[in-house]
Amino acid sequence: MPDPIPEDPSQVRVLVVVEGAHDIEFLTRISTLLHSAHPTLPDLAAMERDRELIFLPIGGHPRAWLRRLAPLQLSEFHLYDGEMPPEREQREEFISQINQRIRCRAVLTRKRSLENYLHPQAIQAVADITLEFGDHDCVASEVAQRVFDSRHADYSWKQLTRRIRVRLRNRAKHWLNTSAVEQMTLPLLQERDPDGEIISWLETIGQLAETT
């Protein structure tokens, strides 16, 4: 895996700020899929390998990153989970502030998180479970529970401690953003994202990369 900090920082064209490492896994894979069909869209995995892009997983507290990267004088794209009210309204406020900065663009996902853009068929291909979920459900929790219950007839999810539930949810979150994304196809993505929200993110990243 290439060093995340280029030897020559001048070749970095855009910073992509996300909440966690799972978001990076999702975006690199889904952008490769979309780039294969639409070559004008950036392949984020390739850009990262070529040290043209740096992902920054901030691990929460996005408000703290409102102006922290400004001294670098690089284009910035911020992508944060939509979350549920009232947190969504709070996030919309600082998203607006980021968008007032030059060469910066920030968006909230319309769905709860990136896992909500996955198609149930892609999840079923990995975990062999049938699942339905809405745009604002916690997909990782529902998947973790369904997988556990399908494998333990004599012991239910509700009997698990909170610590074990969190561990299983995090495990599900990992393969959802890696193996399940790799099972996505363009028709499945079109069904889950008919408005082309993900495409719009990639178009924005590409435009920002050209303005550096």
Asked whether the predicted pLDDT for residue 172 surpasses 90, the reply is: yes
- 7 pLDDT tier (thresholds 50, 70, 90): low
CA distance 54 to 57: 10
What pLDDT score was predicted for residue 8?
A: 58
- 2 pLDDT tier (thresholds 50, 70, 90): very low
**Taking a C-beta distance cutoff of 8 angstroms, is the pair 143, 165 a contact?**
no
What pLDDT score was predicted for residue 143?
A: 97
- 6 pLDDT tier (thresholds 50, 70, 90): very low
In the chain, % of residues over pLDDT 90:
81
What pLDDT score was predicted for residue 201?
A: 98
Triad 201, 49, 121: Cα angle to 5°: 50
What pLDDT score was predicted for residue 34?
A: 98
What pLDDT score was predicted for residue 91?
A: 87
Burial grade of 32 (CB within 10 A; 0-12, 13-18, 19 or more): middle
Region 27-32 average pLDDT: 98
Region 171-200 average pLDDT: 98
pLDDT in tens, 106-151: 999 999 999 999 999 999 999 999 999 999 999 999 999 999 999 9
Asked whether the predicted pLDDT for residue 87 surpasses 50, the reply is: yes
Q: Which of 168, 140, 136, 138 is nearest to 152 (CA)?
A: 168
